[in-house]
Amino acid sequence: MLILSTIAGVVVIFSVLLDAFETVVLPRRVNRRYRLTSLFYRYTWIPFSTCVRKIPLPSRRENFLGYYGPLSLIFLLAVWAFGLIFGYALLQYGAGEHVQLSNEPITFGTLLYHSGETFFTLGYGDIVPKSGIARALAVFEAGMGFGFLGLVLGYLPTIYSRFSTREIEISLLDARAGSPPTAMELLARFGNCPEQEVLDKIFRDWERWSAEVLESHISYPVLNFFRSQHNNQSWLGALTAILDATSLVIAGVDGIRNEQAKITFAIARHAMVDLTQTVNARYIPDFPNRLPREELLRLRETLAARGVKVRSTEAAEDKLASLRSRYEPYAQSLAQRLLINLPPWMHPEKKKDNWEAGPWDRAIQAKGLSERIQVFDDHF
C-alpha cells in the first residue's frame, strides 16, 4: 500500500509539472490527446456554454461568456496547486514518518493538510516530519510552492499583455470596417482611395496581427476564450472580416492590385486553421452559406455605388467560392465552439460604429432639438 501511494504521488506530481510546463513555458501546441489542461477546458467549457446558451438576452449572454476566460485561468492554477499538494501528501504517506503535537494518529487527511501548509509555506509546526525522506520532501515542496507563486506572478501579466495587444488592433478596425467589421465596409471606405498604399497598409497591419494571434493563442490557448470589450467585437469576427475582404480583392476588384491581399490571406487562413485545432473544434459539414447569390449581387451593387467595382465574371466568382471554402468551414466551427457570432459580408442596414454611439446620445439629441425649437419660436 505504501509503495503504491509513493508511485501514485510521483505520477501525480510529474503529470502536473509536465502539464504546467507545456501550458506556460513550451511555446508550441502539444498534440497529445490526454492532457490535464485539455481535459480541464473540455469538461468545464461544455457545461458552462450549455448553461449560457439558455440565456435569452444576447447582451447578458455575452457578459456571462466574458467571465469564463479569466475564471478558467484562476481555476486551472488552483487545480495545479491542488494536484501538487495531493501528490506530495501521497509521497509523505508512502515514505515519511510524522509526529503530531496533540499525539493524535496521523491519517492521510492530516498529511494532506500538512502538505498544504508546507506548499504555501505557512509553517505552523503542528505536524513534524521525523525521517530524513519526509524532511527532504517537505523542503522540496516548500521550494515548489515558491516556484508556483513565481509562475502565477509571471503567467497572469503575460496573458493580459497578449490580450491587450490583440484588442488594440480590433478596436482600430472599428473606424475602418464598422461594428461588427464587414468586408463590404472595409472596401467601401478604403477600396477607392487614390493611393492603394492606404488599403495595403491596413492589410499589412492585419498580416502581422494574424501572425501575433497565431503565436499567442497557440502558446496560451486560454486566450481563445477571452472576449473583447464590446459585444459586437471579437478576435474571430475581425479575422473573418479580413479574410472576407482579402478574398474579394484576390478574386478581382477593378483598380486594386492583390499582391498584399494574397499575403494577408495566407497568414490569416493559417491562423484560422491552426486555432481551430487548438480548441478542438469539430468540422460542420452543412454550415450555412454566409454569402448566397442574392447577397453577393447586393454586395456588388452597394460597392459599385460607392466607387468600388467587384468583378462579376464566372472566373472571378469561382475564385471567390474557392477562397471562401478554404477558411469559412473553420470559421463556422470556431464560432460554434466558442459561441461567437460571425460578422456578415455586409450589414442589411446602416449601423453606427462603436465610436459613434454613446449612452447620452439620445438625451443630447433631444436637448439639441428642444433648443432649436425654442430658437425658432423666439425668432417668430
Residue 89 CA to residue 268 CA, distance in Å, equals 47
166 located within any domain? no
**Within this chain, do residues 130 and 243 fall inside the same structural domain, yes or no?**
no
Quick one: 183 and 92 in the same domain? no
Does the pLDDT value for residue 16 go beyond 50?
Answer: yes
Q: For residue 373, what pLDDT is reported?
A: 46
First CA to last CA distance, the chain: 100
d(CA 100, CA 141): 19
End-of-domain residue from the set 105, 121, 153:
153
Cα–Cα distance for residue pair 378/380, rounded to 1 Å: 5
Question: Do 326 and 184 fall into the same domain?
Answer: yes
Domain that holds residue 124: 2-153
Query: pLDDT-derived band of residue 375, with 50, 70 and 90 as boundaries?
Result: very low
Q: Is the pLDDT of residue 267 over 90?
A: yes
Task: Give domain status of residue 368, yes or no.
Answer: no
Q: What is the pLDDT of residue 223?
A: 93
Q: Does the residue 61 lie in any domain?
A: yes
Give which of 226, 337, 228 is closest to 277, Cα–Cα.
337
CB 256 within 8 A of CB 198: no
With respect to residue 257, please indicate whether it lies within any of the assigned structural domains.
yes
71 within domain boundaries:
yes
Kindly state whether residues 338 and 204 are assigned to the same domain: yes
CA distance 78 to 267: 36
Residue 375 CA: distances (Å) to CA of 80, 323, 364, 369: 69, 58, 17, 10
CB 80 within 8 A of CB 24: no
Higher pLDDT, 134 or 359: 134
SS3 104: coil
Same domain, 181 and 324: yes
What tens digit of pLDDT does each residue of 38-56 get? 889 888 998 999 999 999 8
Please tell me whether residues 108 and 231 are part of one structural domain.
no
Task: Indicate if 33 and 139 belong to the same structural domain.
Answer: yes
Give the pLDDT mean for 9-34. 82
Grid cell 491542488 is found at 82
258 lies in some domain: yes
Question: What is the rounded CA–CA span in Å between residue 167 and residue 320?
Answer: 29
Q: What is the pLDDT of residues 60-114, one digit of tens each?
A: 899 999 999 999 999 999 999 999 999 999 988 887 777 676 777 778 888 888 8
Indicate if the pLDDT at residue 370 is higher than 70. Answer: no
Average pLDDT of the residues in 220-224 = 91
**370 in a structural domain:** no
The domain spanning residue 54 has which CATH number? 1.10.287.70
Look at 110-114, 326-330, 334-338 and tell me which has the smallest mean pLDDT.
110-114
What's the domain count of the chain? 2
- Are residue 127 and residue 179 in the same domain, yes or no? no
pLDDT, position 42: 85
Task: Confirm whether pTM is higher than 0.75.
Answer: yes
Query: What proportion of the chain, given as a percentage, has pLDDT over 70?
Result: 93
Residues 146 and 195 in one domain: no
Which of 149-153, 228-232, 288-292, 326-330 has the weakest average pLDDT? Answer: 149-153
134, 96 in Cβ contact below 8 A? yes
Residue with cell 502565477: 152
Which residues lie closer than 8 Å to 125 by C-beta, 6 or more apart?
101
Same structural domain, 88 and 221 = no
Query: Please, what is the average pLDDT of the chain?
Result: 87
Same domain, 283 and 333: yes
371 domain-assigned: no
> Are 148 and 243 within one domain?
no
Which of 264-278, 299-313, 358-372 has the least mean pLDDT?
358-372
Measured in degrees and rounded to the nearest 5, phi and psi for residue 204 equal: -65, -40
